[in-house]
Structure 1
């Protein structure tokens, strides 16, 4: 597998590039890039945009940001709703994705969130999540959500049985055949991500070594 030139991290619903897992991933990639520089290798570019509330707009913006990047050179990571987005992008573009407690059916689950919401990392910022946004999520579904995702070899899924937001059984069924790491503890936030899962995520995506 060619070494990626770009690593795109997609945050979850109401989240941001300031999420703990995003910052931990960026910090680890920074250390890897330092070793790559010492070995005379080019850096892997970090992309972690603030995603707008509209799923359609979010994916349009992301696709523009990676236009011209070869699929084999693009690595994706996504948490929760970001995992749903990463699944859509991996399927559309033909690249690999690491998913952290990925949302399987956000159109169903987020319907109850329609209204004016605040951002987790900036409570002073509010945004409207609408019925149209729910319809846009349905447009991004890859195949039948009750079946295993197509081309499961593209995915690594880290799934916590004690996820208090999403059903781990639904996640495991959706990513059957993928490289699944199903763990007992960590919760929806995967609080042990940096110590127990991050290295495996980067290795799967091909950016874990400075070669």
Structure 2
């Protein structure tokens, strides 16, 4: 059975983000038989979820695993629960609709230069896909206490019964992420 890894980037990010690039290079080097997917997500949450689900529905019999960073962690939780997939969440957003309420208005993605608006509907779409109850064995959650964007304790509280890695200091980018890739691949059971 073919293995697929779907990397889901965060808010105002892209497949060109450092973590996405590090993951892709690691997979190409050590697991060339695994298909790596990291689409540029639509800026609207509902469209982004539809886009991600198209990947899963295109090859439902294949093995799929998820890595989600920040807002991508929130999307990964939704997909993991709906499709019973293993997911690694990196400094995941737990209540992005609260955080992003402070970002309402015009946004420009620094990678793509795409301009879009965060409006009430955007926040409502995030609330609509929230998964308050989780299958604890499907997750490895990696947080750093120095995350300057998100409160890492929210992730610790929600995923306390999952495989949880809490590192002191660090930041929202997850310092030394690339050193965690062997553990990530092992947890996700990525093989040929």
Shorter-normalised TM range = over 0.9
Decide whether aligned partners of structure 1 residues 136 and 71 sit closer, same or farther in structure 2, where only a CA change above 3 A counts.
farther
Where does structure 1 lack aligned partners over 5 or more consecutive residues?
Answer: 35-42, 144-148
SS at 1:16's partner residue?
Answer: coil
CA contact (8 A) 2:42 2:51 kept: no
Q: Which residue of 2 aligns with 1:17?
A: 15
Decide whether aligned partners of structure 1 residues 173 and 23 sit closer, same or farther in structure 2, where only a CA change above 3 A counts.
same
Q: Which residue of 2 aligns with 1:189?
A: 173
Shift of 1:128: 1.6
Q: Which residue of 1 aligns with 2:92?
A: 102
Asked if 1:177 corresponds to 2:161, the answer is: yes
Shift of 1:185: 2.7
Q: Which residue of 1 aligns with 2:107?
A: 117
**Cα offsets for 1:142-169 (capped at 9, x unmatched):** 02xxxxx421110000010111111111
- Alignment partner of 1:80 out of 70, 77, 88: 70
- TM-score, normalization: structure 1? 0.86
- Alignment partner of 2:26 out of 24, 28, 34: 28
Shift of 1:4: 5.8
- TM-score, normalization: structure 2? 0.94
Distance (Å, rounded) in 1 between the aligned partners of 2:96 and 2:55: 24
CA contact (8 A) 1:166 1:188 kept: yes
Where does structure 2 lack aligned partners over 5 or more consecutive residues?
Answer: none
Work out the number of aligned pairs and report it: 192
Q: Which residue of 2 aligns with 1:39?
A: none
Q: Which residue of 1 aligns with 2:118?
A: 129
Asked if 1:202 corresponds to 2:185, the answer is: yes
SS at 1:67's partner residue?
Answer: helix
After superposition, the CA RMSD in angstroms is: 1.6
Distance (Å, rounded) in 1 between the aligned partners of 2:110 and 2:175: 16
